[in-house]
Every structure is written in C-alpha cells, then in structure tokens.
Chain A
Amino acid sequence: MIAQASTAAPLTMDQLAAVIAHDIPEGSYVNLGIGQPTKIADHLPKDESGNVNVILHTENGMLGMGRKAEGEEIDADLTNAGKVPVVETPGCSYFHHADSFAMMRGGHLDVCVLGAFQVATNGDLANWSTGKSGDIPAVGGAMDLAIGAKDVFVMMSLFAKDGTPKLVQACTMPLTGIGCVSRVYTDYGVFDLGPDGARVRETFGITPDELFAKVAALQREPR
C-alpha cells in the first residue's frame, strides 16, 4: 500500500478532472455525467483537428458529441444531456432514446463518470435524491447510467460542506444503484471499490494514514 501523498495539496476539481481524463483509455466510449464530470472533456487529449481521443456518448441520443457550441454554431436541435447546445464531431451518430439507453444497459459503454452525494465502500451509489422532504424527486438517466457501463467512476469532493465524508460504510441517502461504482476520484484521493471494501490508489495533500483517521469507512479493512 502507498504511504505518501502524490501531491502537496488536495486537488481542485479541475485538476481532478485532468487526473480522470488521463486514466480513460484512448478510443473508449465514454459518458460524462451532468455537473463536475463534464469538466473532464476539457482535459482529454485532442487530435490535430481539436477532437478528443475518446467517443463521448450523450444520453439524449448521440455518440461523438463535440464541445459546447458558440455563437452561430448554436442549434436548438443539438444539445447535451444538460440541455447545453453542443457541436458534432466527424463520425458522430444519432439514435433515439430507447437505443441510447439500450446502449448503456447492454454494457456497451466503456466508462461512465458520475457525480455523487454519497458512495459506499461496496460500490453503492447515492446521487439522485438527498431524501429531504419537500425536494422534488428527479432521477433522469442516473439509475441507468449507474448500472450501464463496464466501469462506473465517481468524481466528487471527499467531504460534504459540513465536513462529513461522502465515502461511507453504507449510504444513508436514497440509492441510485447497488454495488455499481468501481472507482472514486476525490480531491483527497482515489479509491478502488469492491465487495471487499475500498482500496487507496493514491492520495492528494494528505497521507493514507491521515485519511484513515478522517474517513471512518476507510479504516475498516483496507485491502
């Protein structure tokens, strides 16, 4: 097991996006969830035409999604899952919603990166509802994405605003999917998850020992 931090300070979300982008194999079919994970696209290696080295899937029915559209490029018929206008890339394709989700559910996507409220060390994910009364429930494609890629990664801050860890022994918020997350990228470290618990791959600005003291879920049985 590693003993030292890889960096002197915790990572910003932008730096974390760059770490994730580096870990995604070239040529992968990838879905980047709404929110922080969309930043990853900015850090993916690009070819001479400025196109990224992976094929981006957007749940509303496109493979080969390009960057955000600007000015004259904006076309109301072409948006990403966050409803932001985007552009095409060479070789892109369109398909209807049932095909788009069959593509996920059928295990054809290589990597999906999602945001999270909580992740449990066994891979359970909570990212669609805080469970607070009065909130209007909205799930979108979160539950389909959670179970719909060969590798499901989470990108999140390790601690909530109140300082409590978001990597937990068992999620207390409503679940999005069970045992579905294989790796969690956070500002303080990267963790591989599985039925046997979490394994620390790397830490940022904090040593693994310091991390175990702060995150109870990590203390139990680091493999």
Chain B
Amino acid sequence: MARTSILATTDQAVAGIEDASTILIGGFGLAGMPFDLIDALIRQGAKDLTIVANNAGNAEVGLAALLKAKRVRKILCSFPRQVDSYVFDELYREGKIELEVVPQGNLAERMRAAGAGIGAFFSPTAVGTPLAEGKEERTIDGKRYILEYPIRGDYALISAHQSDVMGNLVYRKTARNFGPVMATAAVTTIVQVNEIVPTGYLDPESIITPSIYVDRVVQTEARHYTVRGAR
C-alpha cells in the first residue's frame, strides 16, 4: 500500500497548508514551475508564507501571482531581479517583502543537506564576499570555507513529467532543476505532473525521485511559458 496520495484536483493537493509555512517552490525561471499548484495555493488562501525558490517570479504567472496576491512575507532566492520580475521589484522597493539572497549552489546544497540529514556543511562559495558576513569560517587543507545550514520546507511544491501511482517521478529536460532536491527537503512534498502512469510503467533505472519523497500527486494540463525578453 503506497503512502503517496493521488489527488483529483490541485485544490485537494494543497489543502491544509498553514499560514506562515515555509514552502519550497521548484523551477528555474518558468521551466519546471508548478503553476497549477501555485494557483491552487492562491485560492487556498495561506498567507504570511516564507518562499524558497531560485527566482522571485516572472511576469504575473506562477510565483509572481502568489507575490502579487500578497501572501508572501519573505523570499529566499538566488536571483530575484530579472527582465520581468516587476511584481517582486515593486514589493521589495516598497518594503513589503523580505529578501534573503543565497548563492544558487548554496541554495541547492542547503536543501540537499536538509533532505540528507546533514547538520551543516562547509562551502567554499561566497568566501570573502558580503554574503559570507557573520558566517563561521574555517580553513581546511589550506582552503577557506564558510559554514552553511540546511534549509527545510514545511511543504515543497514541484512539477515533474510523470508519476506512477506510487509516486515515483521522472522529469523532463532542464525542468528537472530544483525538483529532486526540494522533494527530499520538505515535510510534505506535493507534485503536479503532466501524466500519472500505472505502477511498473516507468523504467526503475530512469526514476529520478523515488516515491519515498513524494506525498501528494495531481495530474494537470501542461502549461508552458517562456521568459519574454530573455537573451
């Protein structure tokens, strides 16, 4: 008996997300962003959220729509400022959202550490820069490192290409990005997929996220956006 729930609607998939939760949201720009789960979260109404994501939203879809709905208190991300991040930019300049900038590799590794039960780790990234200020530093074998702590989520909202009925996931191209890492780092991982397939259909050698990390799955119509003005 699989523990992963296959749900009929995105509203069921995001049910119970509490105010003030920390939510990991997958995607790099718009590739791999769980648009439908975010729209459902907006309908669900949870507020005062802390969001962990690579970017701070594009145009007015997905994460940008959640920001526009004023549900987010704080965002941890590596690259908020983009050609079309105007929703975030305005909230930030008005002092209506808190920002913590984390180098992209440290962001990924801090979530990986959370999922892997690592208490903290020493990273060479950002040594000697303003983003290392106030952090513990150590020299190991003549090289400088700073101490980085795990980032855990109460929830992860990610998208994948296919899930089997057990919750084993495969992704598609660079839309994989943060999905496999975030799936391990949250108490409850919620996944939207383009297709749910029977258990046994996926080649076990090709499964990227094993079902143990997946709590809820919902099938949605694939929606694709590209970042306008990207160059």
Contact = CB atoms under 8 A, between A and B. Distances in A.
Interface in B83-109: 89, 92-93, 99, 101-109
A120 to B, nearest CB: 12
Interface residues of B, number: 53
A98 B32 contact: no
Contacts, number: 160
B122 to A, nearest CB: 11
B124 A77 contact: no
B149 interface: no
Given A96-B208, A144-B103, A144-B105, A76 B30 contact: yes
Given A101-B105, A101-B109, A147-B125, A139 B178 contact: no
Contacts of A174: 129-130
A18 interface: no
Dominant SS among interface residues on chain A: loop
A140 B78 contact: yes
A76 B35 CA distance: 13
Contacts of A100: 105, 108
A212 to B, nearest CB: 28
Most A CB contacts (10 A, CB to CB) among B172, B173, B224 go to B173
A78 B173 contact: yes
A85 B30 CA distance: 11
Contacts of B46: none
Nearest to B225: A76
Interface in A35-94: 58-62, 74-79, 82-85, 88, 94
A138 B99 CA distance: 10
A97 B123 CA distance: 16
B187 interface: no
Contact of B79 (A76, A97, A105, A138): A138
Nearest to B106: A144
B231 A144 contact: no
Contacts of A178: 127-129
B177 A60 contact: yes
Contact of A83 (B28, B101, B171, B175): B28
Given A141-B105, A147-B125, A177-B127, A136 B230 contact: no
Contacts of A141: 78, 103-105
B176 interface: yes
Interface of A: 58-62, 74-79, 82-85, 88, 94-98, 100-102, 104-105, 124, 129, 134, 136-144, 147-148, 174-178
Given A59-B104, A139-B78, A140-B103, 18 more contacts: A60-B28, A61-B28, A79-B227, A96-B179, A97-B28, A97-B181, A98-B180, A100-B105, A101-B104, A105-B125, A129-B130, A138-B79, A139-B103, A140-B78, A141-B103, A143-B126, A143-B129, A148-B125
29 contacts: A59-B104, A60-B177, A62-B173, A75-B173, A75-B224, A76-B225, A79-B28, A79-B227, A82-B230, A82-B231, A83-B29, A83-B82, A96-B180, A97-B28, A97-B107, A97-B108, A101-B109, A102-B105, A105-B124, A124-B128, A134-B93, A136-B80, A138-B82, A141-B103, A143-B105, A143-B106, A147-B124, A148-B125, A177-B126
